[in-house]
Structure 1
């Protein structure tokens, strides 16, 4: 399978799902983000989405930590943190007139004006997570891909959305051809080229050998797509495959085209980024990072690429030689469990570590920090956006309630949670987990 319908903000489970297809603290204080840095630090979870403005001055990123951040690329400074979505921010886009769009696990799409604390417009026409966004060539339309099985197109100014039905499963990505037609790529291993609004003709369906995770379109009408089988495919405007380039061994998660259309960047779950000359379909070089998944990328200009990864960082790369711009921090996120090596409860907690930190410094990630969780009422961790359903529950976390959570499962014990429905079946393992958390989450 490709990216299956699991909660995309749960990194550990999502990684497992993508591997199976052979084919997540508050945001760090802005003052802690180093200016003039080649790496942009600020997210509390993997950087799921990236887009850069046409002038290359700014970028917007979305993360499994439920936030989006606006950046000054040159200084590496965050200029604004955007909080709205109840779940991972899976998709971002740059709109005309300096505005931005974000799409989330909650199925909502928000439009933002820099400097405004709240969205200026919200679209809620999807019934599942939004995982891809694209802006029409004239800047008037905003398309989205969703795990509800549809792609949709609505006017940026507001109005009814057009639903494009036909995919058999998750729609993972959308892009626009230069003539305004929409292209969608999905779980069902099909790429679909849809007619323009008002045209009475069927979609052109291109069936490929593997589930598709990503798609991009060039100004000359060529289409670039990739997914589970690690093959980058370049299609002619009529949908026929011009070339298939093997990028094994890892599934491709994201692709981007340089502004002049001559180069393709393809990011993989294994952490490498292949840069390919589009005309010849030859690899130019590979960008080598810390070995964690590269979830997102965007060209700042023909000469520079920015990438977002599983280590919560955004990096800049020189496209003239494939080298990092500035020093390349290669360290992985600090292992909070190292000091608990050998403890049975720490081993049980390992599956939770990608989404929950244990200390105040760790902050909120895809899930809220567990620092100080004992004695805390549910849905009250500072800086985390909880669902209304959780805020209404009358639960205080202690040894008994935490054990019960993992005995019966989150969906039964805390209805309305975004946490995957997982249980710890062994009473001994539950007791070990509770004892570990009681010790590891104590605040100074």
Structure 2
């Protein structure tokens, strides 16, 4: 329940705090963003398993929401003022401002949930999951409808104006659904789509690995393309008036494209780290982005300039001292989620400090999945090598670690030797 003190605190945070154009609070990359209907609040989701509600005009963090047992991959602003968060843990949580626990939890997915969409009438919340399905949840309760793609992870979901759901997955197929398990239209795309958008006239934009925005007519035929490379597109956001689409890339640039002509209008150049998420403010004046530097940033959508001073500093290079070490080079794929020594800033995964000799799922304070807690594994050079030989999903069932293997035995050995040195107590 709200109290007078909490209401007063929120008012002060919204109106009295000094404006901050760069909002810092996440302990990992900012994976998801959404802005409230009135444009005054935003919610961000991070690899650090947290969601943060922000006052956009002040940059103040109004609440840090910790519930999920995995990275928060998707968020949405609901018409009734609530927010939704979705996570690697397969759950969708519904939040009301002023409460630090979810008002409702939607469970049913068996894999990470990576996308959310709200129907035009505000009655349904759709979730896309790497379990191969999408689910349509009634926001008034009831059993969800399941859309079973049957061909691998579903990466993105969106609604047409007449309420049809569209999904895009790892099979590079766009599906237009009329009712559960019946796809009225299948559109094969040239590349796997990471994100999709739908305009008011039913036209679709899909983008992903090949860094090209594809504008598709409502019947699935191609109208235009916009190349925004060289880096893959991670996320898309449609301007409130439907005239522009913003595309976030893995190289740290946001490209603004005119919908009617597919011409590039602006390039918002950030610090060179992946931009994982973005959203427009309702008046179309600003774009809000979240990225690998753990910051939420504001940009002028007319000029492409940052709102306030843009600090282009990168996080400290924790592997600089190991330059030339092959094991450190292999570990470069892991550094975004794991620290090597105690005292470093929290990241999405548990610290590896003191790794060898430690039981699996034993770092104090880290929220592991329940299946992982019951595994009988002690980390040794042999077990770490085996983890990357056969992959985390097989060796540590229940893990939320991204699936990856190291097929080269010499590289596995180099990684193990590096970890033995870098994670030992100093």
After TM superposition, the score normalised by the length of structure 2 is: 0.85
Structure 1 422/231 Cα, relative in aligned 2: closer, same or farther at 3 Å? closer
Helix, strand or coil at the partner of 1:192: strand
CA contact (8 A) 1:152 1:164 kept: yes
Partner of 2:373: 391
Structure 1 395/235 Cα, relative in aligned 2: closer, same or farther at 3 Å? closer
Q: What's the Cα RMSD here? A: 2.8
Q: Does 1:117 align with 2:100?
A: yes
Offset of 1:297 from its aligned partner? 0.7
What 5-or-longer segments of structure 1 have no aligned partner?
Answer: 1-29
Describe how 1:143-222 pairs up with structure 2 within 5 A: 143-166=126-149, 168-195=151-178, 202-222=183-203
Describe how 1:358-369 pairs up with structure 2 within 5 A: 358-369=340-351
Q: Distance in 2 between matches of 1:272 and 1:300?
A: 19
Partner of 2:8: none
CA contact (8 A) 1:180 1:196 kept: no
CA contact (8 A) 1:257 1:264 kept: yes
One of 265, 270, 273 as aligned partner of 1:284:
265
Structure 1 209/415 Cα, relative in aligned 2: closer, same or farther at 3 Å? closer
Offset of 1:105 from its aligned partner? 1.3
Partner of 1:437: 423
Structure 1 269/429 Cα, relative in aligned 2: closer, same or farther at 3 Å? closer
CA contact (8 A) 2:209 2:232 kept: yes
Offset of 1:428 from its aligned partner? 7.0
Q: Distance in 2 between matches of 1:328 and 1:272?
A: 14
Q: Does 1:325 align with 2:303?
A: no
Q: Distance in 2 between matches of 1:191 and 1:324?
A: 34
One of 294, 297, 319 as aligned partner of 1:315:
297
Q: Distance in 1 between matches of 2:183 and 2:377?
A: 52
Partner of 1:268: 249
CA contact (8 A) 2:90 2:109 kept: yes
Offset of 1:232 from its aligned partner? 0.9
Offset of 1:305 from its aligned partner? 0.2
Question: After the TM superposition, which segments of 4 or more aligned residues of structure 1 sit over 6 Å from their partners?
Answer: 374-377
Describe how 1:350-389 pairs up with structure 2 within 5 A: 350-371=332-353, 378-389=360-371
One of 303, 312, 318 as aligned partner of 1:336:
318
1:116-158 Cα offsets, whole Å, 9 max, x none, are 2222222222222111100111111111111122222111222
Structure 1 339/235 Cα, relative in aligned 2: closer, same or farther at 3 Å? same
Helix, strand or coil at the partner of 2:80: helix
Q: Distance in 2 between matches of 1:350 and 1:228?
A: 21
Q: Distance in 2 between matches of 1:136 and 1:224?
A: 17
Structure of higher RCO (CA pairs closer than 8 Å, 6+ residues apart): 1
Structure 1 148/395 Cα, relative in aligned 2: closer, same or farther at 3 Å? closer
Helix, strand or coil at the partner of 1:389: helix
Q: Does 1:50 align with 2:29?
A: no
Structure 1 231/339 Cα, relative in aligned 2: closer, same or farther at 3 Å? closer
Q: Distance in 2 between matches of 1:245 and 1:228?
A: 13
Partner of 1:85: 68
Of stretches 236-245 and 248-257 in structure 1, the one that deviates more from structure 2 is 236-245
1:54-87 Cα offsets, whole Å, 9 max, x none, are 1111111112222211111111121112222222
After TM superposition, the score normalised by the length of structure 1 is: 0.82
CA contact (8 A) 1:402 1:434 kept: no
Give the number of equivalent residue pairs: 402
Helix, strand or coil at the partner of 1:352: coil
Q: Distance in 1 between matches of 2:275 and 2:83?
A: 22
Q: Distance in 2 between matches of 1:395 and 1:172?
A: 32
CA contact (8 A) 1:43 1:63 kept: yes
Q: Distance in 2 between matches of 1:260 and 1:361?
A: 46
Q: Does 1:405 align with 2:391?
A: no
Q: Distance in 2 between matches of 1:383 and 1:69?
A: 19
CA contact (8 A) 1:406 1:422 kept: no
What 5-or-longer segments of structure 2 have no aligned partner?
Answer: 1-12
Partner of 2:21: 38
